[in-house]
Structure formats: structure tokens, C-alpha cells
Amino acid sequence: MVFAGFGGQGVLFAGKVAAYAGLIKGKEISWLPSYGPEMRGGTANCSVCISDQPIGSPLITAPNYLIAMNLPSLERFIDAVEPGGTVILDSSLIDKEITRTDITVYRVPSSRMAEESGLKGLSNMILVGKLFHELSFCSEEVLEEAITKCIPPRKASMLELNRKAVALGAAQ
């Protein structure tokens, strides 16, 4: 999986949650973040591998899944998605037509949904919820545990909001 967007959108956190879910399930995992020096506002992405087999390299050149939170990220990675793969994008920020016919595309207006639901800043977790719904990469309990592990104690108040965001995305 590749999670991609602007720094500050929670791209790395979303990937970390997916990776932790794989770790909790006892899978082989890798989480490889990549971001520019400008952090917030610059581009950020992370590659997540979850496998039953040892992972030879954390670098993903042909993802099965792409979660794109902005247009530059979509444009950068769309051609790399393997045939038969899936793209989940934030249609609040991306209105580009996808011409590829060999992939499945889900358009989720996650930024708008987050804003309208009082979950500002949690568009990333709405997309994780959609990914969970489509991929079923773990059980609800494992996803819940992964979210709990990834939220630091100083941000414990965000736990319930993250749960709501994931549920909102899973319902899409």
C-alpha cells in the first residue's frame, strides 16, 4: 500500500495504523515513510507492506493499493498501481478523471466529510476506514487496537474521534 498526500494530512499516521494492524496480527510488516524537508505542506508518503512471507524490500514500486489525499500525490503514483489494484482518493481535493480501466477507484469526499462531522483533520482516518472496508486487512478489534497503539498518551482525547472517522469511512 502507498499512502500519499501533503505533510500535515496524517498520511504517515494512517500508514502507521495499517502497519500496526498487520503487526498485531503477527504478519510480516514494513513501514517506510518519505517526506520532504518542509514537512507540513510538502509532499509526504509512506509505503506499507503486510505479508505472510518475509519482506525483501520495504520499497514499493507497484502498489496494490494507493490512498491519495491530494492531486500531486495521485499524479505521482497512479501509473504505478498494479493492474487489478485499487485507488482510494479524497474526492473533496481531487477532481481529476481517472482514465485507467484496469484498476478500481473509490472516490471518498473525506475532507468534506471530516469537516461536516466535526472531525476536522481526520480525513486520513476516514480513508483508512474505507480501506479497511474494501480490503478487510484485519478485524475491527485489531484495527481498534492499532489505533490505540498509534495515538500517543498526550493525545488520548483523539482516540474517540479517530474511531468515529474510521467508522464513517467504513460506511462509505
Question: Would you list the domain boundaries of the chain?
Answer: 2-170
In tens, the pLDDT along 31-71 reads: 999 977 655 667 899 999 999 999 999 889 999 999 999 99
Strand partners of residue 135: none
Residue-by-residue DSSP string for 75-123 = HHHGGGSPTT-EEEEETTT--PPP--SSSEEEEE-HHHHHHHTT-TT-H
Pairing of strands 65-68, 86-90: parallel
Strand partners of residue 30: 49
What CATH code is assigned to 2-170?
3.40.920.10
Report the alpha-carbon angle 166-24-44, nearest 5.
Answer: 55
In tens, the pLDDT along 61-116 reads: 999 999 999 999 999 999 999 999 999 999 999 999 999 999 999 999 999 999 99
